[in-house]
Structure formats: C-alpha cells, structure tokens
Amino acid sequence: MKYIYIQTWGCQMNEYDSSMIISLLEKNNEYLVTKNIEKAHILILNTCSIREKAQEKVFHQLGRWKKLKNNNPDIIIAVGGCVATQEGKQIFERANYVDIVFGTQTLHRLPKMISEVKKNRKPKIDINFPKLEKFNYFLKPKKKGFTASISIMEGCNKYCSFCVVPYTRGNEISRPCDDVLFEISILAKQGVREINLLGQNVNAYQGPTFNKKICYFSELIRLVSEIEGIDRIRFTTSNPLEFTDDIIEVYRDTPKLVSFLHLPVQSGSNKILKLMKRSYTTKDYQYIVEKLISARPDIQISSDFIVGFPGESEIDFQKTISFIKKINFDMSFSFIYSNRPGTLASTLKDETHLEEKKTRLYFLQNLINIQTMMWSRKMFGSTQSVLVEGLSNADTMELYGRTENNRIVTFVGTHDMIGQFVNVKINEVHAYRLKGTSF
C-alpha cells in the first residue's frame, strides 16, 4: 500500500478540493491517506495565497519536506492550490526537488501526473483553467460527518483591489444545477443533515439546468431545501453587490436556511471601500441588512474586515468602528491588510506604521468580541435546535453540537442523539460556547 500525506491551508474551498484529491487518489485502493508523514510516499501541499508572505510560508514548508526526500529520493512532492497557480515554474526554480505543480482547476489531473513522474522522474506542471472539468472526475461524495460542504461555483469576476482570487481561481463559473442537487442527494442518503454551499462569490451562482435554463442562487437554495434529509442550509461566501431581493425573499419563505449570514463588508469607510473597488457604500450594505431583518427578524450577521488598508486614516478606522456598532455584527474575520503582488492595491501608498495597524486590529477585535458575548447572552434561557455531531472533547459524558448561529453547545445526552437535531435549553453562556439541557 502506498501512502499520501496532504497538508491543506486556507479557506473551505481548499478543504473541499483536498477532499476531492483524496477521493481521486484513494480510487481503486491505490493510495491511502496517512497522518504520519514519515510513512508517506507522496507529499501534497494544498496552498493559500490570501495572506502576505504566503509564498515564503510555502517554501519554508517545502524546505522541511526536502529533508524527508533526501532520506528517500522516491518520495514525490506535489504543490497545488492558489500559490501554485500564482508562482508556477518559479516553484521548481526555488525548490528543484518538487516534482509536481498543479492548479486549483487541474487537481483532477494529479493521478496521471503522479504516474508520469514515477515513470520518467521529470517534473510536471499544469496550472491551466479548464472550465469545471475537474468536477467531471470527482467520485461520489462520502460522508465524513453530519455536515458537509459542496462547491457550487468557482472563481470571481469582481477584481477587488486587494484580492488575488480572480488570478488564482479564474473567473466565475457555476456548476450545473442538477450536478449540485445530485451530489447533495447522495450526501443526504448517507446521513448528512446540514449542507454548506461554497463559492468565492456564492450568491452570483447561475447554474445551467437540464432544459438549458438558468438556475439562480435563490432558486437553488429552495431546491436544496426540498431534498429529503437536509434540514439546515448555510452558504459561504457572499458579496453585497449581488445580495439581491430574490435572495432576501428566501429568508422569508425557506426556514431551513439558517438565521445566520456571513456577509463581508471589509470597511466602514466609503473612501476605503472605493479604494478597495468594492463598488458599494456603507448605506447600500445597511439597506441589505435592514431588508434581511425585515424578512428574518432573528438573523445575525458576521463579516470580514481589513484593517490598515493603504490610505486608511484614523478617521476612516473610526468610521469602521461606528459601522460595526450600528450593524451590531456578531463575530468577524478581521486581519491587517496584506500586500499581494499583482493586485492594484499593491501600487497604493501605505503610510500607516505596522504598530498602529496592530493597535487598530486589537481595538476592532475587542469590540467584536464584546458584541459576540452580547449576542450569546441573549440566548440564555432560550431553546435552541442543535445538530448533535458527537462526543465532547472536554467531557466524554457530554455531547456537542452546533446552533444555527454557529455556537457550539455541550449537554448531557445519549449516543442515539448523534446525527439528530435536539432541542437544548441554554443555561450557561460564553462568547462562542454554550451549555444546556436537552429535552
């Protein structure tokens, strides 16, 4: 038996891609995944380039793997993902012991590339952008828990000034609606109860149907909600530009769609949003939130924030703080701006010192944490529907699961509750974790 070791960095899309790589390589029992790198015959690094110095992180990791290859020259090292697409042949130039470089849209060709390297020991590279070809090679999905993610589209057309996604994932392209529904149906039959629809700009989905029409994102959610066994639906990540009224209406008429939305805003300053090329204003964003609350009064919103974007003054930052308070965000992913080569923002003048950026980030994250705790406190004494996922790591006498609004809940229960939705009364509250009693 040959073993593969795969290390994944980055977003949920990368996690999804890695699961597909594993399925392809495990086909016909040719390979088996191992968590013990010392046993591996093939080392795969699935990379992310969203943060600054991503390339250096990759080469540092490859340097550690070089030692393994020095001890065993037959080991094959493959690099995929966004950094692979971005760097291409330069990976071979800096790390000549790497055997394979594959892109975000060519991972399905990896088994063939491995076979060719075995035969002639010559390095292989394929970082092209064949449209949706990779999905034709994926095997039937296998359940790994009671929640599952499924990619419904790839790429992005927005070209925000700070973002490399259009260059590493390509332009937006949607999977056929029937393919998506078929994959989810298989997962549902295996016991998956919650599905997360993935895309770099998921609400721009426009998938072709069998009768050559277009299925828009709002319609897709409704179709997924009709699949027997699927009782909870999420999606990641959406863009305010295409958060249209038909999507908001889904919140009004589709209770399986959770009352929790991650909607990145990035800044509360219109000046900075313009520099980011986000093409909306804070007023536009607030209007979307107001309509969402009208459709789903109990909805909670999380968001993304970039702190210290080139040109961000203290006044701009305070506008972001005021906006966070106004919307009353629950949770966020917030980072100091990362200069990404090749993006428009990399040419902008940045005069803010790093220490000031760190201070701003700390202040923003502290505010969000306070608001998260306030949202959690509102749940005290309430009854929550919890999808039970397994035994608690902290106490084997307890089970754990997740609420609609992404809180982990622990409670005493029986093993037959695992994989089921259970009503739990919340009687202990922390920012991101709750405790309760099932009934």
Q: Which of 257, 256, 298, 291 is nearest to 382 (CA)?
A: 298
Contact 233, 225 (CB under 8 A): yes
Q: Which of 142, 90, 94, 113 is nearest to 42 (CA)?
A: 113
Which residues, 6+ apart, have CB-to-CB distance to 324 below 8 Å? 268, 305, 332, 364, 367, 368, 371
Burial of 283 (0-12, 13-18, 19+ CB in 10 A): exposed
* Structure tokens given for 338: 């990362």
CA dihedral 226, 229, 230, 231 (to 10 degrees): 100
Contact 282, 352 (CB under 8 A): no
163 is in an annotated binding site: yes
Q: Which helix (H) or strand (E) holds 424?
A: strand 421-429
Contact 159, 277 (CB under 8 A): yes
* Structure tokens given for 356: 């000031």
Burial of 365 (0-12, 13-18, 19+ CB in 10 A): middle
- Strands across the sheet containing 100-102: 31-33, 2-8, 42-47, 76-81, 100-102, 124-126
Q: Where are the beta strands (DSSP E) in 220-277?
A: 232-236, 260-262
177 is in an annotated binding site: no
CA dihedral 215, 218, 219, 224 (to 10 degrees): 110
**Residue 27 and residue 150: Cα distance in Å, rounded?**
20
3-state secondary structure of 68: helix
- Bridge partners (DSSP) listed for residue 45: 7, 79
Residues contributing to the annotated binding site for [4Fe-4S] cluster:
11, 48, 82, 156, 160, 163
Binding site, by residue number, is 11, 48, 82, 156, 160, 163
